[in-house]
Amino acid sequence: MLLDQLENQSIYILREAYNKFDPLAMLWSIGKDSTVLLWLARKAFFGHVPFPLVHVDTSYKIPSMIDYRDRLVREWKLELIVGKNQDLLKKGLITKAEHDRKRAEILKDM
């Protein structure tokens, strides 16, 4: 399958999802994969994303990534919902190393 065909199929799926699901939102981690999906959504809807983006803020992103997120939201006029686990933040966040270790332990037990 050619890249153009994959892109067209992705655009078709995004449009179908928008027409069939209400409410609809898209997760955006600010990573490369979800940013490509965001780009495809803009292309599918002619430069306007008609549904909100949801970013789960773990506080592990470097500040320049958050700046990048906020810049795209402004420039592309995106609706962004940012979620944070306030209870965990109040208790004091675990370090990324602790988070990775705990996740590895959970995966080992599966």
Residues 11-70 have pLDDT tens digits of: 999 999 999 999 999 999 999 999 999 999 999 999 999 999 999 988 777 889 999 999
Residue 32 structural domain: 3-108
Task: Pick 107 or 68 by higher pLDDT.
Answer: 68
Lowest-confidence region among 1-5, 16-20, 81-85, 99-103: 99-103
Lowest-confidence region among 53-67, 78-92, 95-109: 95-109
**CATH at 43:** 3.40.50.620
The identity of residue 67, as a single letter, is D
Count of structural domains, the chain: 1
Q: Dmax over Cα atoms in the chain, in whole Å?
A: 50
Taken in order 93, 94, 100, 102, the sign of the CA dihedral is negative
- Which residues pair with residue 55 across a beta bridge? 82
Average pLDDT over residues 2-7: 94
Residue 12 pLDDT: 98
Alpha-carbon distance of 102 to 99, in angstroms, equals: 5
